[in-house]
Structure 1
Amino acid sequence: MDIATLVGVIVAIAGLVGGFTLDGGSITALLQPTAALIVFGGTIGATLTSSSLKTFLGVGKYLKISLFSKSVDFLDVIDQLVGLATIARREGILALEERIENFPDEFLKGGVRLVVDGVDPELVKSMMETELSYVEQRHEAGAKMFESAGGFAPTMGIIGTVMGLIHVLGNLSSVATLGPQIATAFTATLYGVASANVLWLPIANKLKERNAAEMLLREIMLEGVLSIQAGENPTILGQKLRAFLAPTARTAKGKTGAQNAEAAEA
């Protein structure tokens, strides 16, 4: 599990609620089912309208990706590619065929299979880049969906507040309850702005970070496969692939893919 995501959300909510209660506010005043229905129902509806049904139904998958990061060591992948290059130079490209099924990554497996099958290098590059492009598009769709939710939520909050004020101004007979009713109406704005900045937009950013890490990994694999096909020296290949990473990440073992991606972008 990505502790940063979970802890970040908890700290943000705790900070908001804690600050409100320390100032004398009551937590029960923040619990307004009507406002929640307007804001979250409206946000979900607007997000569904602006996204494809397939993307929207994948919301569970995207939440899982944001909460659970798959640990990937870039240097281990580079070492694996260097090992394959060594085998290819010593025993020939066909010697990789019996090792293809042992590859855990389908992208790498597909690339090596093309090389073993003797496909033209330009076609191998084109096919792998096309697959890479479509993977990136799918990942971006999820991030954009949460970005859309982050844009709609504050607007829905304002709409909920306006609706509440319309109700309040239409019943001015009881001046004593006017203040609490107005405060309740503004809860919708709180829900909209808070959900956008605590949940939807941070999740979108987390998905973008995951996408950046995976794209970097795939680019390293792509370059490695093409270099193996070209028969490059394994030592030179290792140096070339490490150039994708920042100097501080080229020798640091045990980092996750997301951490190495951050170092690479530094």
Structure 2
Amino acid sequence: MTAATPILAAPTLADFLRCARLRRNIDNDVLSQKKLAVLSNVSAPYINLLENNTPNVRKRPSRQKFAQIFCALSLTPEEIAHAYTLAEIKLPEPEGNTLPIFDRREQAYIDQLNPSLAGLVNEYWDVLVSNASYRDSFPGLAGIGNILLWFFEEESSQDVMMEWELEAELTVSWLRSRTALTPNNPRLLALFERLSQNETFMKMYSKTGIVTDRSSPVMLLNGSRILNVRLFPHPSEKGLLLFLATEAS
């Protein structure tokens, strides 16, 4: 008798997310759903539903939640594109001169902005996606995944940023404003617990003033690079910002 030809099963988002989580190690331990929930600011029950391919969740996926999970899993651009394909996320086309919608395959859109530096960040300064110009200009940031952690845990940040203290204080001030709005947010608490071990961060955080906007668009980088920086709010996802910087002529 001829053996039956095995049926090739189509890949699923549930299997992809589960495998990505299980291969992601934190302190030599496999990343649990609970730990992933803290890192991504997405509830553990929601992640469990995704990994079990629960129909109602799959039919109405949240783009922002997916982006946060993908960032926490440290997916490559190719993996992110594949995950969005599995999620079957459909995009409305951008209209007029408005910023394009960052729905499907945010990475593809961000890449199109090269050679400008572009990155999509959330309200806790997690870098969800970025292009090559952004990653090359801020070495180490892609690996650590969060601008605040990069400032205070990555020594190279002080070599990159010519006005390191000014830029760091602005970012810390933004975090302080978020603390007042969402004091019990799990992602915020996880960040603060980690950053509170840094003396410089704590000195900046203890200041009472709040500044959440740049007084000047100029950002100075090593190598006499002068950037004009702008932050655009995401047109549909509250709390997401597009960081866009161009080299000053």
Point out the structure with the larger strand share. 2
TM-score, structure 2 as length reference: 0.26
Q: Rg bigger for which structure?
A: 1
Point out the structure with the larger helix share. 1
TM-score, structure 1 as length reference: 0.24
